[in-house]
Every structure is written in C-alpha cells, then in structure tokens.
Structure 1
Amino acid sequence: MSTRREALKNLLVVAGAAVLPIPALALPSGSFTYCLNMSTLRGHKLGFRKELETASKAGFRSVEIWVDTLQEYVKSGNSVADARRLAGDLGITLENAIGFAPWIVPDAAARAKGVEQLKQEMELLHGAGCRRIATPPAGATTGERLDLYEVADRYHHILELGIQTGVIPQLELWGFSKNLSKLGEVLFVAAQSGLPQARILLDVYHLYKGGSGNATLPLAGTAGIEIFHVNDYPGTIPVDKIGDGDRVYPGDGVAPIKDILRTIRKADHPIVLSLEVFNKTYWAQDALAVAKTGLAKLKAVTPA
C-alpha cells in the first residue's frame, strides 16, 4: 500500500506513461480519430452486425460497442471470431466497450462477482479484437462515499486483469454519481493505482454534470486519455436537472467543445473522439441519418 501512496506524488508521470500502441488510422486533424459510441443508436435496436454496418456506411472507422450487444450476437449463434472478422471486413476498429460490471462496490462478495463478470467480459472482448473496456462506478452511484485509496486498490486489481487479458479498463467519470463524479477523483485513483496502464475516460457532459469544469484537464497528462466522449448539452436546463437523455449533437448546445479539445489534444498519438448521446429524438430518426449527422457534427467542432 505504501508504494501506491508514493505513486500519488508522481501523478503526471503515471498519467503520461506509455500503454498499448494505437493502430494507425487516418486522422482528421493530426491528433484525433472519429468514433461512434453505439449509445447513439441504442434505441434503434439494430443488433451488433447492423450497428457496425451502419457506422461503416456513415463513414466511421472506429466504434465503441456495448458488451451486452456483443453477447447477444454470440448467443444468437455467432462466434467472437465472427465479430472480429465482421469488423475487419467493414474496416471498423472496436476501440472500446461499454460495460457495467460492479468492480467498485464496497461489499466484498458482490465485488468479487463483479470482478469475475468483468474478467469474462474482457476475455470476450479480447477475442473480438477490442482492447479497452469502460469501467464506471456502476453499483456505487448512490449511498456511501467510498475511500479513494480503497477504490485505487480495486482499480489496481482490475488493471492487472486488463494487462493479463489485453483489455485495459478505462476509469470512467460519471458526473451524476456519488463516487468518481469529478476529474480530481478519477485522476487520484488512476495515479494511486500505481500502474502506468491506468487510463481515464472523460465526457463533455459528465465533466459539466459533475461540476469539474475544464481548467484542470491538462493534469490528465499526455497519455492519461485515449478515449474522450463528445456530446453537447443545452443551456436551458439547470445542471441539477439535466440528465443523460438531454445530451445533443456536438455544436448544438453551449459546451465549450473546441476549447476542451484544444486542451486535451496531443501530437504524439491520436485521441479517439467518440460520439455518445442517448437522445430519444435521434432514436426516432433513421439510424444511418443519425450516424451521418453525428460524424458531420464531430468534424465541425474539431479545432483546426
């Protein structure tokens, strides 16, 4: 434990350490790649194959899948090798997966089940060719405020699993949560984990919802962020009332997106900008039109 306490003194070193290499992709601005988080099409209920096909037709070359959608694809008679082959045939990289295993919860028995669930999900994702998974504070969004040193120990453990399986857990900030709702908290846990593979997953909306602001984003370091969720929010809803479903296309709200992207941009390797919205208005529209619109909006807010 003392070793990881000392790691806090070197936060920027830990956040800036190297991790697995990024595949070479065409970059829109020299430092970003564009990605579609399948939350954006979640309400269309397309299934794994059609989600990837829609993203590809829209012009995306990267996606964030949802674990349960991949699981349903496999349960329906396909293999993880089929999933990997499908993505390859479409020219799509599976950048990250969205999952909700309760790895963080204080109850030891529940946490053990959550960690086992996460391990199984990592193994599935590895077979499909996806090498990251989001690890938000699922199961700890309400109730007690957790000790961040203990959370760091738990994140250290799942990072070790990630290193073993080849699927690195991205410590995700949720602005509405009782735990890991602020940038300072996820930075602390990432640094205190004591492992250079630690990564944080941030979101335009969640930074706003949690009250973090953007002034301290540079502390994330040169390698602390590999995936960044991009969306926008209206200025007409108070921060304590705004919810996930109120997110809109980038540029359609009041978020300082270009300033945020200028802050996190890095020249040595690209950050994946992933469009993540849960807007029911979009779910009622044609899925391909939504994906095409989302890509155009992402490009429009990317600073030159």
Structure 2
Amino acid sequence: MFPFKVALNTSTLFPFKLNVIQQVRIAAEAGYEGIELWMKDIETYLAGGGTIEDLKHALSCANIEFINAIAFFKWADADAEIREKAFKQAKGEMELLTSLGCKLIAAPPFGDVGTVKLDEATGYFEHLVVMGREIGVEPILEFWGKAQKLSTLSEAHYVLETSSIQNTKMLIDPFHMYIGGSDFFRLKELRGEQIGIFHVNDYPPIPEIEKLEDSDRVFPGEGIAPSNEIAQTLYNIHYSGYLSLELFIEDYKGKSALEVIKHGLQALKNSYSIN
C-alpha cells in the first residue's frame, strides 16, 4: 500500500538546465502529482521574458499542483537589519507565489543563526507565519543538519510546540536528519498535521557523516536510510501528504531527465510503501 501523494523537487533536475515550464511538463509526464519549484528558477524565467500567466497555464495544463517553493531569506538571522530585509524579501516572494497558486514556502535556517536562541527563532518564525497567512502562503520550518541552529528535528519540533500560533508546520528531510544526528525514532512524537512536506532521498554509508554533501544523496532504497520504517511511522502518525523526491546528483550517467525522474518515482514508491 502506498498512502502518500508524490511530488518532485526540481533540484533533482538541475543537471538538465530546464526552465520552469519544462520542469512542470516533464514532472507531470513522469507521473508526479505535485512539484516544488525553486524561487531562483522562477525569477530567472520571469527575467528572461516569461510571464506568471504562462507558468500558471503550464501548471493547469499539466494538472500538477505547485505545492511548495524553495526559497532562501534570512528570517532567523542574528542581525535585526538583515532579518528586516529578509521579511521584505519573503513578503515579495510570497505575493508572487500566491498568484501562482502555491500554498507553502520553505523557511530554512539560512544566514547567521549560531547565536540565536530557540525562543528567539520561535518569535521570528511566528512573525513570518503571520505575514504569510495574511498573503495566503504558509511558511514551513525547515531544519538543516549542518546549520548552527535549527539543525535537528528536536529543535524544529520545539519551535512548533512553543509557538503561540496554531497549526504551524515543518519540512522534514531524512538526509538532514542523518547528518544532523536526529533520532528517526522521534518522528513518532509528531502529529501528521505538523508536517507540511516530507522530502525523500537516501544516503550512502561512505563517506562518513561529517564529509557528506548534498551531492552525495542517492535514490531512495540505494543507501542506508531506514526508508520503510520512516514510511510506517509517517503512516502511523496519520501523515498522508506529499513525499517529494529531492536529490542533488550532478551526473546521471547519460540518462535523460524523464528516465531519471521516472526511476526516482518508482524508487520512492518502492521504498515508502506500507506493508
């Protein structure tokens, strides 16, 4: 049984240098129900003469949901002036996203966050969520395994649990859980509705954790991640949202973009099926 929806994070397609229209069309052709686009790709497309209307039309024709945008603004930076600029950036990006029908935007610990206390980060995240909800786009808290703060599932869970705002969500990625030392068992402490999106990938046993980079990620089932146990836990906590394939492989050894993401879709379903 496979109880989840499937999406493609377009980082998986980076080696093919496709524009956002091409990314949307090929993801739909491969059988994905949702797509995560990167703000930098949207901005490049618009700067090159593309239009919001054409991108909306492409999404509609492909019958694929624009589920989340990957963005980088320094919402939790230690410097107040930098945070203020980040909130302005986030506001503009979310206003653009709502015109495309996108409901979520990733909020990772980008910037100088090492000296920021978790309670301070909670306050900054609350400000971001309030702003986003007024616009119509929900920021989802992402943790990065190598970040100086917000590097673990426990820290992200703390922010959600202590927030004065109801129904905040996080973005979870097994690669970041692994390199940050998060305990996969702690996924059981979450409620399914606290997860906005779950990224899917795998990681090899070599090199050691300290030397692993994004480009070392592998397809689900081709590494040592406890993918089946993760899937069972997600199902048990009643998460039924999107699993989104996110890879940063730099060389696919001559395979076409369509071949790559079709293989990824099958690998995702095989690894995250429920017994």
Q: TM-score, normalised by structure 2?
A: 0.95
Residue number among 226, 230, 251 corresponding to 2:196 in the alignment: 226
Residue number among 171, 178, 187 corresponding to 1:201 in the alignment: 171
Whole-Å Cα distance in 1 between the matches of residues 70 and 253 of structure 2? 19
Residue aligning to 1:85: 57
Could you tell me whether the CA contact under 8 Å between 1:81 and 1:127 is conserved in 2? no
**What secondary structure does 1:265 align onto?**
helix
Residue aligning to 2:86: 114
Structure 1 residues without counterparts, runs of 5 or longer: 1-27
CA-CA distance at 1:266 after TM superposition: 5.4
Query: Cα RMSD between the aligned structures?
Result: 1.6
Q: Deviation per CA, 1:167-201, whole angstroms, max 9, x where unpaired?
A: 10110010011111011110111222211131010
Residue aligning to 2:69: 97
Letter in 2 for 1:151: A
Residue aligning to 2:106: 134
Residue number among 211, 218, 222 corresponding to 1:241 in the alignment: 211
Pair 1:43-2:15 in alignment = yes
Aligned residues: 274
Pair 1:192-2:166 in alignment = no
Could you tell me whether the CA contact under 8 Å between 2:141 and 2:156 is conserved in 1? yes
Pair 1:66-2:31 in alignment = no
Which structure 1 residue ranges, 4+ long, deviate > 4 Å from structure 2? Answer: 266-269
**What secondary structure does 1:281 align onto?**
coil
Whole-Å Cα distance in 1 between the matches of residues 103 and 118 of structure 2? 26
Aligned-pair identity (%): 36
CA-CA distance at 1:270 after TM superposition: 2.0
CA-CA distance at 1:77 after TM superposition: 2.5
Pair 1:29-2:2 in alignment = yes
**What secondary structure does 1:223 align onto?**
helix
Could you tell me whether the CA contact under 8 Å between 1:159 and 1:197 is conserved in 2? no
Pair 1:152-2:122 in alignment = yes
Structure 2 residues without counterparts, runs of 5 or longer: none
Could you tell me whether the CA contact under 8 Å between 1:207 and 1:214 is conserved in 2? yes
CA-CA distance at 1:78 after TM superposition: 2.9
CA-CA distance at 1:215 after TM superposition: 1.0
Greater relative contact order (Cα < 8 A, sep 6+): 1
Letter in 1 for 2:35: V
CA-CA distance at 1:282 after TM superposition: 2.6
Whole-Å Cα distance in 2 between the matches of residues 229 and 64 of structure 1? 10
**What secondary structure does 2:209 align onto?**
coil
